[in-house]
Amino acid sequence: MSKIKAKKLNMSQHFLEDGVVVPFTWVDILENLSIKEGDLLNITGISKGKGFAGVIKKHGFSRGPKTHGASDRERSPGSIGSATEVSRVLKGKKMAGRHGNKTVTLKKRQVLLVDSSKVAVSGPLPGSYGSILKIELIAK
């Protein structure tokens, strides 16, 4: 199935009768596609870039001690490898670096509302407002 382009507009929420809050995102369909309520979509977009981030923000590492000899090592990653046997840093080691600005695909997002060229998709979507998304309709 081919992907079509859409533009992320804004987020909102819908309140059901039983008090449940359903968050959704409005998307402006830029190409012709027949989408109806209840359809499932795969949505691909580029996530927000967060710049250079340390291991605490990027990977959720725990902070080191503030005292007991740790004068400048509170937010450091700790040891990154052994010294005798391996003598190198293994591939895939979680380290500081650029965070975000990656291609993200969200699968099986449900269409909640359809209004002319605008579509309400359940939950949050990648990217900032106005960013271009690629939408693929999942065949049932």
Per-domain boundaries in the chain:
4-48+101-137, 55-100
Strand, helix or coil for residue 9: strand
Is pLDDT at 85 greater than 80 in this prediction?
yes
Is pLDDT at 1 greater than 80 in this prediction?
no
15-57 pLDDT, tens digit each: 988 999 999 999 999 887 788 899 999 999 999 999 999 999 9
Q: Looking at the domain covering 4-48+101-137, what would its CATH class be?
A: mainly beta
- C-alpha angle with apex 26: 21 to 29, nearest 5 degrees? 150
Residues 6+ apart with CB under 8 A from 113: 24, 37, 119, 120
Q: What is the DSSP string of 32-81?
A: -----TT-EEEEEEEPPEEEEE-HHHHH-PPP--SSTT-SS-SS-----S
pTM above 0.95, yes or no: no
